[in-house]
Chain A
Amino acid sequence: MKSLKANAHLLADSQQQLSILENGTDTNMYALVPFQQKLEESGLYPLLPLTPSVFQVNVGKMCNQVCRHCHVDAGPDRKEIMTRQTMEQCLQVLAQQPGYTIVDITGGAPEMNPDFRWFVEQVRLLNRHVIVRCNLTIIVSNKKYFDLPVFFREHVVEVVSSLPFYQKDRTDRQRGDGVFDDSIKALQMLNGVGYGLEESPLRLNLVYNPAGAFLPPGQAALEQEFRTALYKDFGISFHSLYAITNLPISRFLDYLLESGNYEKYMQKLVNAYNPAAAANVMCRTTLSVSWNGYLHDCDFNQMLDLRCAVPQHHIADYDHSAMLNRSIVVNQHCYGCTAGAGSSCGGAVV
């Protein structure tokens, strides 16, 4: 399987995606209420930032996997990765803005960026908490990554890992053949160096996202099922499970359209709109920097090329007061963050 970009697919163009999100498809059965209107009804429009605390950096679209639902359209054929120079610009902002207490490193597979380890080390020197969004299989994909668990431990990195399900079939359908077995091996390696154990400060959290056109079930019950099954079948321990909704972007949007589920899925998200979740969306406390240094309200907006509504869009020209006074850019995909218990990079929000 290749990325949409490598296939020169129409949806590789963010404008095409936005057009579908805003106008629906030709066969659109439902006229969707604009997200802006829902926010207005909840007294939340314009959507304003709270105190920013999470500095999320997408260090590139390169990945060893090509998951069907990927909102990044990542894969081995994607060559866009963050340079050390852009990382240095991020570090300068972090040095000046101690309020960003958490640095959340994502991709693609962030570990594939040749400057990844250097960047983690530099961020830790600034005394920030580091989260790495690790797809697990990267750890066992090549011997140069076998020592990642030890590297993570040395730098007390919090590891957040996707595991769509505790059974092989459902995981492999979404992420590719063999992904489940490799993920289990990687989780055992992480447990082996002390990650995810009950009293351990080495945090290991898992991410569930639905393998299909539906919303995640309740996070607490699901976490319990994951915990019981993974321990019983594989002796694996972890701390928390984050249940994340798939947003209708990029390859998941393609899947929705191809499978004829787009309208119903959008309607489901709209019907499940929860004002309490809307008040807690992650963009209110997050800054998201793209591989080429541009500023976005979240990783989803980043993939849609919706930059922060500030005069200077690049990390090299970062202006904290402009960031604090901006309005967050929203569109129809935002319904994915406000459905039911809500969804964020840290799972449910209510």
Chain B
Amino acid sequence: MANHYYSEEDLGKFSSIGTFQKPLADKFFAWYGEVFAEGQLSAREKSLIALAVAHAVQCPYCIDAYSADAFEKGWNEAQLMEAVHVASAIKGGAALVHGVQMMNKVKAIAM
């Protein structure tokens, strides 16, 4: 076994996740496929959303997959980076907005 947690080749093995509990994996992949198909949003738009979310959840596999996929679907470098900034801004904002909770708490207990 590799002596590190993340390995590039493991991304290619994702489809074999059904080796354990195949019915659940089958359901996941069927749902996943449908989610990313052309719909009210285009597959191209969905790819960019996926890239942003991949950064927010900090999944190296998803970042790898959706950096390539979004570029292949025609988004350019500047657009990809703007999407990453959107994800980062939401993550940063999500942390910062909790500062209100902090202030509420402190105000409640401070003399």
B44 vs chain A, min Cβ distance (A):
7
**Which of B12, B74, B76 has the most A CB atoms < 10 Å from its CB?**
B74
Taking CB as reference atom, which chain A residue is nearest B38? A221
A221 vs chain B, min Cβ distance (A):
6
Pick the residue among B43, B44, B71, B73 that contacts A212 (CB under 8 A).
B71
**B72 close to A221 (CB less than 8 A):** no
**B68 close to A214 (CB less than 8 A):** yes
Asked if A147 is an interface residue, CB under 8 A from chain B, the answer is no
Taking CB as reference atom, which chain A residue is nearest B42? A221
Interface positions, chain B 47-87, Cβ under 8 Å from A, are 68, 71-74, 76
The DSSP consensus for interface residues of chain B is helix
Pick the residue among A167, A214, A215, A216 that contacts B76 (CB under 8 A).
A167
Asked if A319 is an interface residue, CB under 8 A from chain B, the answer is no
Asked if A46 is an interface residue, CB under 8 A from chain B, the answer is no
Taking CB as reference atom, which chain B residue is nearest A214? B72
Interface residues in B, total, Cβ within 8 A:
11
Q: What residues of B have a CB within 8 angstroms of the CB of A218 in the complex?
A: 43
Q: What residues of B have a CB within 8 angstroms of the CB of A214 in the complex?
A: 68, 71-72
Q: What residues of A have a CB within 8 angstroms of the CB of B68 in the complex?
A: 214
Q: What residues of A have a CB within 8 angstroms of the CB of B44 in the complex?
A: 217, 221, 225
**A165 close to B72 (CB less than 8 A):** no
**Which of A165, A214, A215 has the most B CB atoms < 10 Å from its CB?**
A214
Taking CB as reference atom, which chain B residue is nearest A267? B12
Interface positions, chain A 133-167, Cβ under 8 Å from B, are 165, 167
Asked if A275 is an interface residue, CB under 8 A from chain B, the answer is no
Taking CB as reference atom, which chain B residue is nearest A215? B72
A61 vs chain B, min Cβ distance (A):
29
Asked if A239 is an interface residue, CB under 8 A from chain B, the answer is no
Pick the residue among B12, B38, B42, B76 that contacts A170 (CB under 8 A).
B76
How far is B76's CA from A274's CA once the two chains are assembled, in angstroms? 29
Residue-wise, chain B 31-45 has the 8 Å CB interface mask toward A (1 for contact) of 000000010001110
How far is B74's CA from A210's CA once the two chains are assembled, in angstroms? 9
**A217 close to B76 (CB less than 8 A):** no
B-side residues, CB < 8 A to A, are 12, 38, 42-44, 68, 71-74, 76
